[in-house]
Structure 1
Amino acid sequence: MLSCFISIFLLCILASINEVRFENLLRFGRCTFSNNTTNTSSSISNEQQQQEQDIRILIGILTLPDQYLRRHFLRLVYGTQNPEGAKIDVKFVFCNLTKEDQKTIISLEIMRYNDIIILNCTENMNKGKTSTFFTSLPDIFNETENGPNYPPYHYVMKADDDTYVRLNSLVKSLKPLPKEDLYYGFVIPCSSMDPFKHYMSGMGFLVSWDIVEWIHGSDIPKKHVEGPEDKVFGDWMRWGRRGLNRFNAKWSMYNYPDPVSVCSHELVNDTIAVHLLKNQEKWIKTLNFFNHAGPLEESKMYHIA
């Protein structure tokens, strides 16, 4: 009897010790889980705050449906840039497709890259394509003024497909500028430095989202469509008394240095955009000047001397 009593007593003590250990283990687990959750939540919160502080920019590159190789090349050029403090979407813009091969190939591009905007217009240079682009944007990126992500973009830039935009330089120049009523670019004519007297070159001009919405709803752009697209756009700004915050990015934006080119100078480090890159040789020389393709990370998979 005595031995049975002692055995039962020892089992009770052992169970009590295990219960204490289990409670401590649960407490430790709850603490660890709580800390991990707090750290994760803090990380997500910081990331969200950073995204909210980032400048949101849409760059619409006006090009032609058949320019398949040019689009693929530009995807490399823009996809290998890592702008800091900004979320930048680059979209290729053209009018309605007219050929069967276009419909097939461009459908594949959309499925793979989702970076194409097809406007409801007939392909043209100076008969309203730029107008259709800006007018269509509020409907494409449908956000109400009270929406959590309004505006969808702080700025919209129209660029040519022979323009190289250096995204970090663009962001750096925009940081101190207003996010409303802004009209930004390279003032034409070349001799002018006054952004209020003339208009911004079609190589790449940028406006704030409120101007995009104004273009969408105003009768002024609707009544004045045809003509050199950059000059027509400047007329809208002047007649509508828009773009009262203007920034002349000259001479950080310029044409590629060429003896016969106007509005140009030699490539310089303080560059936002280079225009008139009409062939592969000019693109390669420009990319090499800015060391765009390097340095590559070391790998056993390749060696580039």
Structure 2
Amino acid sequence: MTSTKAPSSTSCLLLAPVAVLLLVFLVASLNRSGAGSDGLGVLCARRAGADHYAVAAPEKEAAPAEPELSLLVGILTMPKLRERRDIVRLAYALQPPVPSYARVDVRFVFCNVTDPVDAALVALEIMAHGDILVLDCAENMNDGKTYAYFSSVPRLFAGAPYDYVMKTDDDTYLRVPALVEELRGKPREDVYLGYGFNMSGDPMLFMHGMGYVMSWDLVSWVASAEEILARNDTVGPEDLMLGKWVNLAGKGKNRYDLKPRMYDLNWNMDNLRPDTVVVHMLKDNRRWATTLRYFNVTAGIEPSNKLYRLP
């Protein structure tokens, strides 16, 4: 008879952070999956005991009216980029309020967290912020992560579907109220919106990966479209592949190109514009700082000669 060796105490310690992460994520997912959201992801203050963010409300709050539109923003990132997420959270939290007619939830999106150190620290983020989705995939950029995101959303939020679902990245600054205004008058079905990429004379063959929006029906179709997997079309430049999915299926007929309000920040960082919806290529803190200064994100800070002196 072959004996089974008991796990060592060192192995148990290494696995403990992973177990914490899985437990926290499972509880958060169960609480969110059927209840929808009463808040704005990383954009508002967190209620005590809640697993997501919400606007603080008086004790005797009337039942909120159903919003005209709802939007889920998924920011694809990696577990190790904690400093970047902290900057992005602050940048979004200090934006002007989203119009009352809209509900917007913002989530950071990872694949499986396999490193025990990352697992422990991501677990802290989940407990503190409640704004993380962990998908069942291997971490990657162009090897199926975007497909995993869009194909998972209909199941994760089946109890409270959104009108629109956005994919963007952690080097992108999205001005949420501006995007909401753009979406308000748009159809709620068969919508594919973003920075249209010009190829073969078609100015909107696909939308650039800096950030694009699809209506809920298109996202639901992606989750059920067996032909995407049959063609192995999850592997390759993610924005180009998504365009291929909808083009071959004859979907996304309501297409909207938001150029020039969506753009890459150039080398000299001098092409920022006041009507921006999305600015991309914020690859380091200097580019983030330039962008935040341009949009006066910290203009409301109170002066204090005693506590701090900022340039």
Q: Which TM-score band (shorter chain)?
A: 0.7 to 0.9
Cα distance, 1:220 vs. partner?
A: 2.7
Query: TM-score normalized by structure 1?
Result: 0.76
CA RMSD between the two structures = 2.4
Pick from 77, 81, 84: which aligns with 1:63? 77
**Which one-letter code corresponds to 2:150 in the other structure?**
F
Matched, 1:256 2:230: no
**Which one-letter code corresponds to 2:139 in the other structure?**
E
Determine which structure has the larger helix proportion and give its number. 1
Larger Rg over CA atoms: 1
Asked if the contact 1:193–1:250 (Cα under 8 Å) also holds between the matched residues in 2, the reply is no
Cα separation, 1, equivalents of 2:227 and 2:187: 24
| Partner in structure 1 of residue 209 of structure 2 | 202
Cα separation, 2, equivalents of 1:158 and 1:188: 16
SS in 2 for 1:56: strand
Q: Using the TM superposition, name which of 152-161 and 295-304 deviates more.
A: 295-304
| Partner in structure 1 of residue 191 of structure 2 | 182
SS in 2 for 1:97: coil
Query: TM-score normalized by structure 2?
Result: 0.74
Cα separation, 2, equivalents of 1:270 and 1:192: 27
| Partner in structure 2 of residue 24 of structure 1 | none
Cα distance, 1:192 vs. partner?
A: 6.7
Instruction: Show CA shifts across 1:54-96 (max 9, x none).
Output: 4211110111111111111111111222211322111111111
Asked if the contact 1:95–1:118 (Cα under 8 Å) also holds between the matched residues in 2, the reply is yes
**Which one-letter code corresponds to 1:217 in the other structure?**
S
Pick from 265, 280, 289: which aligns with 1:284? 289
Which consecutive residues of structure 1, in runs of 5 or more, have no partner in the other structure?
A: 1-39, 144-148
Pick from 153, 160, 163: which aligns with 1:154? 163
Asked if the contact 1:255–1:265 (Cα under 8 Å) also holds between the matched residues in 2, the reply is no
SS in 2 for 1:201: strand
Asked if the contact 1:63–1:92 (Cα under 8 Å) also holds between the matched residues in 2, the reply is yes
Using a 3 Å threshold, how does the CA distance of structure 1 residues 276 and 114 change in structure 2: closer, same or farther?
A: same
Which consecutive residues of structure 2, in runs of 5 or more, have no partner in the other structure?
A: 1-57
Percent identity (aligned): 39
SS in 2 for 1:186: strand
Cα distance, 1:303 vs. partner?
A: 6.0
Matched, 1:98 2:114: yes
Counterpart mapping for 1:137-148 below 5 A: 137-143=153-159
Asked if the contact 1:159–1:202 (Cα under 8 Å) also holds between the matched residues in 2, the reply is yes
Q: Using the TM superposition, name which of 202-211 and 70-79 deviates more.
A: 70-79
Cα separation, 2, equivalents of 1:199 and 1:244: 12
Asked if the contact 1:220–1:240 (Cα under 8 Å) also holds between the matched residues in 2, the reply is no
Using a 3 Å threshold, how does the CA distance of structure 1 residues 281 and 102 change in structure 2: closer, same or farther?
A: same
Instruction: Show CA shifts across 1:238-263 (max 9, x none).
Output: 0111111010000000000226xxxx
Asked if the contact 1:166–1:271 (Cα under 8 Å) also holds between the matched residues in 2, the reply is yes
| Partner in structure 1 of residue 90 of structure 2 | 76
Asked if the contact 1:254–1:265 (Cα under 8 Å) also holds between the matched residues in 2, the reply is no
Using a 3 Å threshold, how does the CA distance of structure 1 residues 222 and 232 change in structure 2: closer, same or farther?
A: same
Pick from 107, 128, 141: which aligns with 2:144? 128
Cα separation, 1, equivalents of 2:138 and 2:262: 30
SS in 2 for 1:178: coil
SS in 1 for 2:209: coil
How many residues are matched?
Answer: 248
Instruction: Show CA shifts across 1:124-155 (max 9, x none).
Output: 11111100110011111122xxxxx4xx2111
